[in-house]
């Protein structure tokens, strides 16, 4: 009997529906049927396999999170980086899921992780200047065979990133890149030693910076790649790698191998015979509308090469190069009557070992035409400082026509620019070589207006010529006749001729006034905010050497310069510079500061005096500039002038290489080519927690060194005389020599208010009274402008006029050991203590004093750490003729007393390398000064009852200093 087709169809649907329902039921039941320890084992595996702090809120075991894969999902996942970035987050994600191989789970009872999913994550990859990275968090099973469950393994076949934000900041290579909307799927048997990784990636927005310079910003990227990976050699071979950045296609070939101390790379990226418009799609996003409104034709060829080894320890860097050609280029903005035609560009650059001093630049051709105008340039340069240059520039361009043709709306510019310059030869400033050059350029009837300021710069006129027939600095002649413009109804005029750059002969006239804040608004210089007013009326005539050789009668420098309310706030300095007023008068060899008031942070300055040889210094900043000034300040904060150890930090969202460690301060640096004499007066000087009042003295700065003579200041109510030398040896170290003479200062106030005194004289914590000092000390300062104690050496005298010591353990223990209560908490008067300091050891010459009828005599050593090695002769009442020998070791907190002993314990000296400014050995006792047996039973401490005084015939103490 024939079965109806309809019935067969319905039956089939029932079976299919039942099958699907059964499958869905299994998908739901399998995670419930298997023990709940599966999720826990995956979490344990993740914790033990990752060398970084891992946290998440909860987990989920399901088929439906990443259907059809069975996954263990960890929600609100975060992972810290590897050393030295253990406190920084490497990965933070809404979800990280691990895919479980279902077949292995059911039949082999093995948990095999073969997939990883990362969703809505921020991945922050950091590499410091030493090449240490934060991503070395995976611990292979070979390294931890006893710590990871045997039935849990990682054999990845798929890696999936969805909607991630990735930031890569490599300080060692000066590379910064950031990707938003990063979507990536990588497939391959990642467990094999050699495998092919198939990649499909889409990035919504990509930024790439090298050495702080942006090369790509907000570019959309699509990549279709096949990469052969060798896990043994950690090498990556690019087999099929097609990349599209916006509309610009690139094909990559080559390899990348990770080495022990760096990497080996050979990458070749090529884009041949593609549209010129596709190349221009790499322009910043601000030009996207311009691309739509502009007709672009032509063909472009591009090649990028990155080849060589990177090894920071051996200072090896790969070579970087590119080649770009544009032929038959055509650009016509929609509103322009004329197109730019015949645009041909052929440029290449090679940077061997990423050393820009070896830059080989070849601009073989840059040609274009606009209406009747034309322009041609070819420039070839190589190496620096011996730069071999060949250049030829010629053209005549109407800037308004060119601007309309290109359609750049950021500014309006008019005028006729003409150029005809030829140069060939070697440029080397040190050798006095300059390429043979002839020609010049001019700009007539110019005007510039930008969108940043409503009023234009008008009547721009610039006529300049250069002539050099011999190829030397001596034969170089430059004339600017003139350079002038009008801004805000104020004309500015400069006329200058310069010749013989070995000994510059100059004739310069400059006149005009300018609102500096407004002129900076015209150009909107990013990161710089400058205000103020300048007015000049100068006539400078002479020769560079006249002032140096004393031929002042041949100079004819005269005129005035006025600066007012000049404020400069820049990202490179932490404080704001503000010149309230500066009136300068030029009189031949001198530049007079008639009235100069300025502030920097909390510090303020009021200068009067002159600079000598200022014009010569303008032409050659390596020469020495001299001057003599009187300065009066209300406040000077020394720490504000401490140099930064490196470039200033930048925020990561500014797309620059960022410091990974806190920025360290540096010492105050002095210019090496300044010879200044300064009569300094300051009401208050703040320095590392010390406040000095009424500082005055004569300061000399010469060849990067500072000398203070006959100085004085007040601190804690005491007048202090000071002489000092200072020399900055690097950005982070300096040397100093200090002679201080203080009379009758309060010990208690000094301990409470002067950090340095508190550290050097910790025993003065419970002392009250008056002392005086005459001491000389020299040594080194660290990056915080604090003394390196191991480097200190010097000596001097301390006078104890009237001091009450309470709770000082040395005297208390000595009193207890000898049974003489009068030695506890002594009142000291009229004591002179001479000492020296070297290698962290203070050595005291013998000194005597009276206390409660006793006449102690003390000498010996103590360390800056508090270790003691003292010899005491305790003269007994009434005249001190009979004395008890005592040795004190241990430390100030735990002094060890030995009666009738003369054997102490040496204090290990510190060791300091003055050439390297490094502490080799901090010195001091490792055991904290605990007395060790010397092998002589007589040197051990004896009970007081057994002590019998030593009857030593010594004259009565009449000298009780």
DSSP letters along 265-331, please?
Answer: EEEEEEEEEEEHHHHHTTS-GGGHHHHHHEEEEEEEEEEEEEEEEEETTTTB--EEEEEEEEEEEEE
Residue 106 is predicted with a pLDDT of: 53
Is a pLDDT exceeding 60 seen at residue 614? yes
Query: Is omega for the bond preceding 222 within 30 degrees of 0, making it cis?
Result: no
For residue 760, the model assigns a pLDDT of 62
d(CA 810, CA 833): 17
How far from the centroid of its chain's Cα atoms is residue 104's Cα? 52
Longest dimension (CA), the chain: 146
Q: How confident is the model at residue 60 (pLDDT cuts 50, 70, 90)?
A: confident
**Which residues does 608 contact at the CB level (< 8 Å), separation at least 6?**
593, 594, 595, 596, 629, 630
Task: Tell me the pTM.
Answer: 0.66
Whether residue 4 is predicted with pLDDT greater than 80 in this model: the reply is no
More confident residue, 641 or 500: 500
| 908 to 181, 443, 669, 839, 917: CA distances (angstroms) | 62, 75, 34, 9, 20
Residue 560 pLDDT class (50, 70, 90 cuts): very high
Higher pLDDT, 519 or 466: 466
Helix, strand, coil % in the chain, rounded to nearest 5: 15, 55, 30
CB of 503 closer than 8 Å to CB of 620: no
Rg (CA), the chain: 40
d(CA 474, CA 468): 9
Q: What mean pLDDT comes out for the span 535-556?
A: 90
With tokens 């990642």, the residue in question is: 190
| 3-state SS class at 431 | coil
- DSSP-assigned states of every residue in 232-273: TTTEEEEEEEEEEETTEEEEEEEEEEEETTEEEEEEEEEEEE
* Cα distances (Å, whole numbers) of residue 162 to 25, 72, 225, 241, 460: 28, 17, 18, 21, 55
pLDDT score for 881: 80
> DSSP secondary-structure letter at 545?
T
Average pLDDT over residues 227-255: 82
| Rounded CA separation 72/56 (Å) | 12
Q: What is the pLDDT of residue 668?
A: 81
The mean per-residue pLDDT over the stretch 929-939 comes to 37
The CA distance from 856 to 960, in Å, is 9
Instruction: Please enumerate in sequence order all residues whose Cβ is within 8 A of that of 167, keeping only pairs 6 or more positions apart, or say none.
Output: 122, 123, 124, 125, 176, 177, 178, 179, 652
Angle at 579 (CA atoms; ends 535, 672), nearest 5 degrees: 105
Q: Three-state SS for 459?
A: strand
Tokens read off for 954: 């010594």
Tens of pLDDT, residue by residue over 843-863, are 999 988 888 778 888 899 998
Determine what percent of the chain is predicted with pLDDT higher than 90. Answer: 33
Q: Please state, in angstroms and rounded to a whole number, the distance separating the CA atoms of residues 803 and 764.
A: 10
Higher-pLDDT residue of 320, 651: 320
The structure tokens 């910076």 sit at 209
Q: Using an 8 Å Cβ cutoff, are 912 and 790 in contact?
A: yes
Residue 938 has pLDDT above 50, yes or no: no
Confidence grade of residue 211 (pLDDT, cut at 50, 70, 90): confident
Of 104-118, 184-198, 668-682, the one with minimum mean pLDDT is: 104-118
Q: Are strands 625-637 and 674-687 parallel, antiparallel or unpaired?
A: parallel
For residues 355 and 317, is the Cβ–Cβ distance under 8 A?
A: yes
Mean pLDDT over 725-737 rounds to 90
pLDDT score of 26: 47
What does the pLDDT average to over 539-544? Answer: 92
pLDDT at 961: 34
Consecutive H or E run containing 5: helix 5-33
Asked whether the predicted pLDDT for residue 568 surpasses 80, the reply is no
């Amino acid at each position: 009997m024939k079965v109806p087709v309809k019935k067969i169809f319905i039956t089939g649907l029932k079976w299919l529906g039942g099958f699907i329902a059964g499958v869905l039921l299994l998908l739901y039941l399998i995670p419930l049927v298997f023990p709940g320890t599966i999720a826990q084992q995956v979490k344990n595996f993740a914790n033990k396999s990752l060398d970084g702090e891992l946290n998440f809120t909860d987990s989920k075991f399901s088929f439906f999170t990443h259907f059809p894969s069975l996954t263990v999902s960890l929600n609100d996942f975060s992972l810290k980086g590897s050393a030295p970035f253990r406190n920084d987050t490497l990965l933070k994600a809404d979800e990280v899921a691990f895919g479980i191989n279902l077949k292995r789970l059911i039949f082999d009872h093995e948990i095999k992780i073969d997939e990883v999913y990362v969703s809505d994550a921020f991945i922050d990859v950091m590499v410091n200047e030493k090449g240490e990275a934060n991503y070395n968090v995976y611990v292979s099973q070979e390294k931890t065979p006893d710590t990871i469950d045997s039935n849990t393994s990682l054999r990845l076949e798929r890696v999936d990133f969805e909607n991630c934000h990735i930031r890569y900041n490599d300080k060692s290579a000066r590379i910064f890149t950031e990707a938003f909307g990063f979507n990536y799927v990588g497939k391959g048997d990642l467990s094999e030693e050699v495998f092919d990784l198939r990649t499909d990636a889409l990035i919504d927005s990509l930024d790439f910076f090298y050495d702080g310079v942006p090369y790509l910003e907000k570019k959309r990227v699509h990549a279709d790649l096949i990469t052969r990976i060798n896990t043994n050699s950690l090498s990556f071979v690019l087999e099929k790698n097609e990349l599209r950045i916006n509309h610009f296609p690139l094909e990559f070939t080559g390899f990348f191998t990770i080495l022990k101390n760096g990497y080996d790379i050979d990458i070749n990226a090529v884009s041949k015979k593609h549209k010129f418009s596709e190349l221009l799609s790499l322009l910043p996003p601000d030009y996207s509308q311009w691309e739509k409104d502009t007709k672009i034709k032509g063909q472009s060829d591009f090649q990028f090469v990155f080849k060589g080894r990177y090894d920071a320890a051996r200072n090896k860097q790969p070579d970087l190069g590119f080649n770009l050609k544009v032929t038959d280029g055509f650009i016509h903005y929609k509103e322009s009557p004329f197109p730019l035609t015949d645009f041909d560009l052929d440029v290449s650059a090679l940077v061997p070992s990423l050393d820009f001093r070896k830059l080989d630049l070849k601009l073989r051709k840059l040609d274009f035409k606009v209406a009747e105008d034309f322009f041609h340039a070819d420039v070839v340069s190589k190496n620096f400082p011996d730069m071999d240059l060949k250049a030829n520039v010629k053209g005549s361009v109407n800037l308004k026509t060119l601007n309309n043709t290109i359609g750049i709306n950021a500014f309006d510019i008019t005028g006729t620019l003409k150029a005809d310059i030829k140069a060939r030869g070697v440029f080397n400033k040190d050798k006095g070589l300059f390429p043979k050059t002839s020609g010049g350029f001019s700009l007539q009837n110019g005007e510039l207006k930008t969108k940043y300021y409503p009023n234009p710069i008008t009547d721009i006129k610039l006529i300049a010529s250069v002539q050099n027939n011999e190829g030397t600095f001596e034969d170089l002649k430059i004339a600017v006749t003139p350079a002038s413009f009008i801004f805000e109804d104020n004309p500015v005029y400069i006329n200058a001729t310069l010749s013989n750059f070995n000994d510059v002969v100059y004739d310069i006239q400059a006149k005009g006034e300018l609102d500096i804040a407004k002129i900076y608004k015209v150009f909107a210089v990013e990161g710089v905010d400058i205000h103020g007013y300048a007015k000049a009326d100068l006539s400078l005539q002479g020769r560079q050497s006249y002032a140096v050789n004393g031929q002042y009668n041949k100079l004819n420098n005269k005129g005035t310069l006025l600066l007012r309310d000049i404020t400069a706030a820049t990202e490179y300095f932490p404080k704001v510079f503000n010149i309230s007023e500066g009136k300068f008068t030029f009189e031949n060899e001198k530049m007079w500061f008639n009235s100069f008031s300025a502030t920097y942070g909390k510090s303020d300055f009021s200068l009067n005096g002159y600079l000598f040889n200022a014009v010569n210094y303008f032409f050659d900043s390596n020469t020495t500039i001299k001057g003599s000034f009187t300065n009066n300040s209300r406040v000077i904060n020394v720490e504000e002038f401490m140099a930064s150890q490196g470039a200033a930090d930048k925020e990561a969202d500014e797309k620059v290489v960022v410091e990974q460690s806190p920025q360290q301060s540096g010492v105050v640096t002095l210019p090496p080519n300044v010879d200044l004499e300064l009569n300094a007066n300051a009401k208050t000087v703040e320095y590392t927690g010390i406040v000095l009042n009424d500082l005055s003295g004569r300061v000399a700065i010469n060849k990067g060194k500072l000398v203070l003579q006959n100085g004085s200041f007040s601190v804690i109510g005491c007048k202090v005389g000071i002489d000092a030398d200072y020399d900055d040896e690097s950005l982070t170290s300096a040397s100093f020599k200090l002679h201080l003479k203080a009379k009758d200062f309060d010990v208690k106030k000094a301990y409470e208010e002067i950090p340095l005194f508190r550290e050097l004289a910790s025993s003065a914590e419970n002392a009250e009274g008056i002392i005086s000092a005459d001491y000389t000390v020299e040594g080194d300062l660290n990056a915080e402008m604090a003394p390196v104690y191991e480097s200190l050496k010097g000596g001097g005298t301390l006078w104890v006029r009237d001091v009450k010591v309470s709770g000082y353990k040395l005297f208390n223990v000595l009193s207890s050991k000898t049974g003489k209560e009068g030695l506890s908490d002594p009142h000291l008067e009229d004591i002179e203590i001479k000492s020296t300091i070297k290698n962290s050891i203070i050595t005291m010459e013998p000194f005597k004093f009276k206390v409660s009828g006793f006449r102690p005599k003390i000498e010996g050593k103590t360390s800056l750490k508090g270790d003691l090695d003292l010899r005491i002769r305790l003269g007994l009442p009434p005249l001190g003729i009979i004395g008890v020998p005592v040795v004190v070791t241990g430390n100030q907190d735990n002094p060890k007393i030995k009666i009738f002993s003369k054997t102490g314990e040496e204090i290990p000296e510190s060791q300091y390398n003055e050439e390297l400014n490094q502490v080799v050995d901090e010195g001091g006792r490792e055991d904290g000064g605990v007395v060790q047996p010397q092998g002589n039973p007589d040197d051990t401490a004896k009970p007081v009852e057994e002590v019998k005084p030593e009857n030593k015939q010594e004259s009565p103490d009449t000298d009780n200093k």
